[in-house]
Amino acid sequence: MIFKDIVNRDIVNLQNCEDEPIHIPGLIQSHGFLIAIDATTHIITVCSENINTFIDLTYEKLLGKKINQIFNAEFIDELFLNNEELPNQAKVFNFVINEKLFSICTHLSGNEIIIEGEPTENQFNESNILYNSSKQLLSYIEDSFTLKELANSVAIAIKKITHYDRVMIYRFDENYNGEVIAESKEGFLESFLGLHYPHTDIPVQARELYIKNHLRIIGDVNYTPIPLYTYTDSNLHTLDLSLSVLRSVSPIHIEYLHNIGVGATLTISLLHKGKLWGLITCHHYSAKYLSQEIRNTVKLHGHFITSQIDVRLLNEEYEIARKTNKAVEKLVNKELSLQRNSIELLFKDEAVINLCNSIGVSAIIGKEVYRLGKTPSIEDIKRLSSFLCHYSNNGSLTTQSLARISSDISVIANEFPGINYHSLGNDQDCIIWYRLQTITDIYWAGDPSKSIEKDKNGLSPRKSFEKFTESVKDSSKVWLKSEITASQNFVNFFVMHLRAILLNEEKENQRKLSEILKETNAELENINWISTHDLQEPLRKIRMMASMLVGDEKENLPENVQQKIIKMQNSAERMQTLISDILKYTKTTAQNSDFEDVNLNVLLNELNSELKDTLEENTATLDITSLPTIKGINFLLKQLFSNIIYNSLKFKSNKRIPHISIRESFEKDSILNSGNYYKIEIEDNGIGIDNQYSQKIFKIFSRLNDKNEFSGSGIGLALCKKIMTKHQGIISADGKIDYGVTIKIYFPKTN
């Protein structure tokens, strides 16, 4: 059998360290052993080179063997106990091998079960210490109020449990720069409390591993890495050690630890809402190992901190939240009129500034700009509003450093870096709260711009951790969650008040329009009266005189004069018809008759009798089949069908006898498919129309033919459209030139 190591030999330096595959080093720390077995066959596929140090067998003897050939039945039973229930969970148990106690940790990695063993023993009278520390967790809740107070209590407790020289609790910012918020240390050591560490100290892939594996221990930074071996037939090239407790450390990180003089470390992940919130980091200045029981207790303390994060942050903000809510409550309870001047009164109240602890506030409502406190100029407010409206997609935006968002508004950002912007949802209408610049000193553990140093040997992690002070000038105090919530609550109230003002203004406009409409209707009545009497009377006299001239005096008049008088008589008749049709058209809108049941069969039979002479004069036939009963206004419906029939007779074809049919149609279309309408079709065989004009024929005064060839006012079908609108129905036309037209009308089944 041929053996090979799976050590990752890619060259790693500070230029490519962010791409270093730290989860597959192919190496482990030297204080324990590692075996990997195939999850299906239980054959040992990977073994650490130092295995013989712990169980008197070399890796060559183990690789390719089944696990039950190496360990006794008791070990095998413990190894696979409950594995089916928790296949992806790490399992830890103590077991004696060759009369020595080991802490055994197992977990699944791909198709391999990884088994890690570390020699262990009872440390520091750990039973009593662990019991007492567990009891103390509850007392932390009573003895601490803020998150920093809680973190400080936990740091002290962990130092007592582990005996590390220094215990620190880090908190990350949004860019993963770390700040030491709590520390417990030996008296002779320099304090790191309050120092910041750049995000480059913990690269991205390391942060990802902290999320997967919540505890990381390096017992001796000067250890010699132990290679992992496999055999060629296993087809294994790498082994994912993301969850391994013995995984070897990146050489760059080892160099970093050497630079700060640390001999051993313990790191616990602090996760909050699925993200790496911070770390508990323990430093010892010589080699140090911990039992599994102590590690678990430290992890418990870490979980306790993360479980309290939201509660403690709320505690810290409680007093601020109380004041901001009081300011909002004062504004909400103000007695405001529904007039525009109430907005100005609202933005004269200091509570608008105090509700989120700002230095000033501005509001843009339409063309008006309201200001209170320290704000940019009106012109700059409009510029800022336009920018933030587009940048936030007409939403909201809160920042402590406006300059980091855009350099286009640097003049505003230099004086007012703190912005709390809320759109009011209408163009550029918005409310903006402002904060002035604050100069903040940040203390770094070494110059963050020199986190990588270059010397004769090339690039290396920084060697200097001397306190470095950085003054941040382009930002304001951070907007707290309670302040943002208070401003949002005020915005919600203000939007409702603004809508009430607009509704009140709309109501007033409606009242004025109603008065104008009454006056207009009164004038329309006067016009109707004039049309009915004053205009009709002269036309009747003109027609009467013309009739007398072409009647009694006809023989005494030249023929050309007779023709002119006849034309005058016809023009007067058309004028009289036009006036009559206009009156019908206007009355259709003004008519307020109630809807009633109308049997269309009865109505059409009556109309057929009334049109008998007209049909005979045109040698036309009219067929009426069974029709439904609908809700409508009887005389308007009679006018509707009368106009359509007259229109068919007017545009009859000289090539055939006029024929008109009226029927209920059940042929499906998009309207009839809804099931809410009756469909009536009036079909003729006249001259037809081009369908591109099928909508135009329903417009008032619209004509498709020469008025000298076809008489009429151009109102007939427009009146039909208006009648159908009044009945909440639909009318359309479908025609073909020289074949005829089908008028389709749809009446709602309930009205």
Which range (175-184, 227-236, 443-452, 558-567) has the least confidence?
A: 443-452
d(CA 575, CA 531): 11
In the three-class reduction of DSSP (H, G, I as helix; E, B as strand; rest coil), residue 508 is classed as helix
pLDDT in tens, 373-386: 999 999 999 999 99
pTM: 0.56
d(CA 104, CA 292): 9
For the beta carbon of residue 259, count every other beta carbon within 10 angstroms: 16
Is the confidence at residue 518, as pLDDT, over 70? yes
d(CA 435, CA 374): 9
Which range (80-84, 229-233, 240-244) has the least confidence?
A: 80-84
Predicted confidence at residue 13, as pLDDT, reads 56
**Two tokens, residue 742:** 């089908």
Q: How far, in whole angstroms, is CA 198 from its chain's centroid?
A: 33
Stronger pLDDT, 264 or 614, i.e. the higher one: 264
> Please, where are the H alpha helices in 308-399?
309-332, 341-346, 351-354, 378-391
Predicted confidence at residue 135, as pLDDT, reads 58
Stronger pLDDT, 726 or 12, i.e. the higher one: 726
Task: Taking residues 112-119, report their average pLDDT.
Answer: 94
> Chain-wide mean pLDDT for the chain?
84
pLDDT in tens, 427-452: 789 999 999 987 665 656 666 666 55
In the chain, the domains with their CATH numbers are: 3-119 (3.30.450.20), 591-748 (3.30.565.10)
Task: Taking residues 706-728, report their average pLDDT.
Answer: 72
Those residues with Cβ within 8 angstroms of residue 358's Cβ, 6 or more apart along the chain or in another chain: 373, 418, 420, 433, 434, 435
**Two tokens, residue 496:** 């409702």
Is the confidence at residue 526, as pLDDT, over 90? no
Predicted confidence at residue 397, as pLDDT, reads 93
Confidence of residue 248 (pLDDT cuts 50, 70, 90): very high
Q: Are 650 and 711 in contact (CB under 8 A)?
A: yes
d(CA 645, CA 134): 98
Distances (CA, A) of 726 to 368, 585, 698: 43, 12, 15
Is the confidence at residue 613, as pLDDT, over 60? yes
Please give the full DSSP string across 207-235, using - where no structure is assigned. HHHHHH-SEEEES-TTPPPEEEEEEGGG-
In terms of Cβ atoms closer than 10 Å to its own Cβ (0-12, 13-18, 19+), residue 476 is buried
For residue 743, give the nearest of 707, 706, 689, 673 by alpha carbon: 689
**Two tokens, residue 491:** 């915005």
Predicted confidence at residue 470, as pLDDT, reads 63
Single-letter amino acid code for the residue at 411 = V
DSSP-derived letter for residue 609 is H
Predicted confidence at residue 18, as pLDDT, reads 63
Stronger pLDDT, 61 or 200, i.e. the higher one: 61
For residue 117, give the nearest of 103, 106, 107 by alpha carbon: 103
Q: Are 389 and 428 in contact (CB under 8 A)?
A: yes
d(CA 332, CA 335): 8
pLDDT in tens, 474-515: 788 889 888 999 999 999 999 988 888 888 888 888 888 888
In terms of Cβ atoms closer than 10 Å to its own Cβ (0-12, 13-18, 19+), residue 656 is exposed
Predicted confidence at residue 458, as pLDDT, reads 46
**Beta strand 730-736 pairing with 196-197:** unpaired
Q: Are 645 and 622 in contact (CB under 8 A)?
A: yes
Predicted confidence at residue 108, as pLDDT, reads 92
Single-letter amino acid code for the residue at 274 = G
Is the confidence at residue 130, as pLDDT, over 60? no
Which range (3-12, 21-30, 406-415, 459-468) has the least confidence?
A: 459-468
Stronger pLDDT, 139 or 36, i.e. the higher one: 36
Predicted confidence at residue 570, as pLDDT, reads 74
Confidence of residue 423 (pLDDT cuts 50, 70, 90): very high
d(CA 60, CA 293): 33
d(CA 255, CA 287): 16
Is the confidence at residue 26, as pLDDT, over 90? yes
Q: Distance between terminal CA atoms of the chain?
A: 93
Number of residues assigned to the chain? 751
**Two tokens, residue 372:** 């209170």
d(CA 87, CA 80): 10
Which range (89-98, 287-296, 298-307, 567-576) has the least confidence?
A: 567-576
Predicted confidence at residue 657, as pLDDT, reads 94
Predicted confidence at residue 449, as pLDDT, reads 60
Predicted confidence at residue 484, as pLDDT, reads 92
Distances (CA, A) of 87 to 40, 175, 246: 13, 35, 20
Stronger pLDDT, 711 or 224, i.e. the higher one: 224
For residue 31, give the nearest of 295, 290, 299 by alpha carbon: 290
Task: Taking residues 16-25, report their average pLDDT.
Answer: 77
